[in-house]
């Protein structure tokens, strides 16, 4: 199957700083990428959908100015958590897909804000 790589796997940052998470499709071009958030022992919640070259579509309740998503190429999407606070600590997972094919998930990024 196709490979999606997320970087970093884990990151610790100070409150008030910004953190960028990268999601790359290594061996295919992804027309759409999705960003999910997973709280401890809970399920995945879709945060936003990004299509290459256009603005991301955010789910209700997700602050677009807080979670900046850029999908500059068909193989790379980034999620930037701006002015991070402890409540932003979570496991963030991306998925990438070609049109109407399986969505492939990255390994996730554990963010801890101290």
Partner 1 sequence: AQSVTQLDSHVSVSEGTPVLLRCNYSSSYSPSLFWYVQHPNKGLQLLLKYTSAATLVKGINGFEAEFKKSETSFHLTKPSAHMSDAAEYFCVVSPFSGGYNKLIFGAGTRLAVHP
The residues binding partner 1 (CB under 8 A) are 1, 4, 6, 9, 32, 34, 42-46, 49, 91, 93, 95, 97, 100-103, 105-108, 110
Which of 77, 97 has the CB closer to partner 1? 97
| Shortest separation between residue 18's beta carbon and partner 1, angstroms | 23
**DSSP per-residue string spanning 80-107:** EE-S--GGG-EEEEEEEE-TTS-EEE--
Of 37, 27, 26, 41, which Cα lies nearest the Cα of 87?
37
Q: Which is nearer to partner 1, 20 or 98 (CB)?
A: 98
Assess whether the previous peptide bond of 70 is cis (omega < 30° from 0): no
Work out how close the CB of 103 gets to partner 1 at its nearest, in angstroms, rounded to a whole number.
4
- Residue 104 pairs with which residues in a beta bridge? 96
Which CB atom, from 9 or from 73, has the smaller least distance to partner 1? 9
């Amino acid at each position: 199957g196709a490979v999606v790589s997320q970087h970093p796997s884990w990151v610790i940052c100070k409150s008030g700083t910004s953190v960028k998470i990268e999601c790359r499709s290594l061996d295919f071009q992804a027309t759409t990428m999705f960003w999910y958030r997973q709280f401890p022992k809970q399920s995945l919640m879709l945060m936003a959908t990004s299509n290459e070259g256009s603005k991301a579509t955010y789910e209700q309740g997700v602050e677009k100015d807080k979670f900046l998503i850029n999908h500059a190429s068909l193989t790379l999407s980034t999620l930037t958590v701006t002015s991070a606070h402890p409540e932003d600590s979570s496991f963030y997972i991306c998925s990438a897909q070609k049109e109407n094919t399986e969505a492939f998930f990255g390994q996730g990024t554990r963010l801890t804000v101290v």
